[in-house]
Amino acid sequence: MKITRVQSRPIRIPLKRFFYNSKDAGTKCEWDGKLSRVTPKRPSPILEYVLVEIETDEGVTGIGEAPADIGFFGQFLESIGHAIDDYLGPLLVGREPFDIPALMERINFRENSCAKSGIDMALHDLVGKVHNVSVCEMLGGRKRERIPVAVEIAGGSPDDMADECLKYMKMNVRAFKPKIGSYPDKDAQRLRAIREAVGPDVSIRADANRGYTVEEAIELCHLAEKYHVNLELLEQPVDPCDLPGMARVCRETNIPIEADESCFGPGDAAAVVREKAADVLNIKLGKAGGFLNAMRIDALAHAAGLDCVIGTAFGLGLGIAGKLHLASAMERFTGAVEFTELGLHGPLLKGRWDKDLALPLDEDGCLPVPTGPGLGVELDHDQVEHVTVHGIT
């Protein structure tokens, strides 16, 4: 069996609102502009993805998905499409698809982690279909059948953020990650309002999106303890390059500190471990460059005694299924897996999975790990065609 074609398809989904929005006068970081990914080319609220299709001479096709987001990944729709169609994909054409590590090594140039993650996902889907095994079984085993779900809560006033959590709780969501990272005292009030609204049994972790100084991060942690927020962890409190600063926050607080922007691929993860810069590593397929590197980070964390979180990068149904397979196969991860996309758009899948991988969650706040070969899900072509971008300029 030989790979005959590697082809990208750009996807754009309009949203009703910017996700990371806040008009709160107390915010020092401009959430509205900085994190809503507003540029002259993308002035409206959207999410973008790139699908990757890998065809073979025996008629079996694998499909994967990459996130496109200049704001977080520094990689965007046009760059990911070009990387796949013009540079990385052609290096795989004519090759057998089965030795995925060797194929990924062939395209292991610097950067382009999102494009690589889409290719890696499509290769796993393809080989899983050929061998009639699920992706989680290829990654190390189906260790879990259902995965607990968390969603992010956009920054805003304490009451608005608490109300948003209550809205999701009606759909069985039992874990939240509010976006903070403005002023510690204001953020602590946000977290306190959320805890008071959701009660003691719901998980709250917070993402500062690198918004604090070291001193502010330590202050936020102390305030969260003072207000009995019972914060599960604090994500990326300071600048991603400031590993000594992250290490100091870890040393001087009791709340577990998580590295997100500080931890893209396995090399970053190794640096975080060496510097003792986090208690928890955040894994996203788009950052890591696919399942293979995600499992390498998992192994590294396991060996170093750290935990992992599987973070959100939004996603269509392939991305959701991919994270569920990863979560099923990993040695261990902390708490719930983040699926903020569930509240923003549908998974665009065929058949039962279009409802099964969507809100509301089951009564335990979980999503099921898809069964069947490869990713175990298929995109609904009519829905996908509707959001395909034709003629990118």
Interface with Mg ion, residue 338, by CB under 5 A? no
3-state helix, strand, coil in the chain (%, to 5): 40, 20, 40
Q: What amino acid positions are annotated as catalytic residues? A: 179, 284
Q: Number of residues in contact with Mg ion, rule: CB under 5 A?
A: 3
Residue 212, SS3 per DSSP: coil
Minimum distance, C-beta of residue 272 to Mg ion, in the bound complex (Å): 14
- The size of the chain, in residues, is 393
Residue 319, SS3 per DSSP: helix
Closest CB to Mg ion among residues 338, 354: 338
Interface with Mg ion, residue 187, by CB under 5 A? no
Closest CB to Mg ion among residues 195, 287: 287
Minimum distance, C-beta of residue 258 to Mg ion, in the bound complex (Å): 8
Interface with Mg ion, residue 120, by CB under 5 A? no
Which tokens sit at 196?
């008071």
Segment contacting Mg ion by CB under 5 A, of 102-110, 144-152, 206-214, 226-234: 206-214
Among positions 216-245, residues that touch Mg ion (CB under 5 A) are 235
Contact yes or no for 221/212 (Cβ under 8 A) = no
Minimum distance, C-beta of residue 338 to Mg ion, in the bound complex (Å): 9
H/E run at residue 103? helix 100-106
Minimum distance, C-beta of residue 207 to Mg ion, in the bound complex (Å): 4
Contact yes or no for 148/335 (Cβ under 8 A) = yes
Closest CB to Mg ion among residues 35, 202: 35
Sign of CA dihedral 24, 25, 27, 30: positive
Closest CB to Mg ion among residues 207, 232: 207
The CB-based long-range contact list for 360-364 (8 Å cut-off, 24+ gap) reads: 360/170, 360/171, 360/172, 361/149, 361/171, 361/172, 361/173, 361/174, 362/146, 362/172, 363/172, 364/146, 364/148, 364/172, 364/174
Minimum distance, C-beta of residue 12 to Mg ion, in the bound complex (Å): 23
- Return the residue of 260, 268, 279, 380 that touches Mg ion, per CB under 5 A: 260
Q: Return the residue nearest Mg ion (CB atom).
A: 260
Interface with Mg ion, residue 207, by CB under 5 A? yes
Closest CB to Mg ion among residues 336, 375: 336
Could you give the CA distance from residue 322 to residue 333 in angstroms, rounded to a whole number?
Answer: 15
Query: Would you tell me which residues interact with Mg ion (CB under 5 A)?
Result: 207, 235, 260
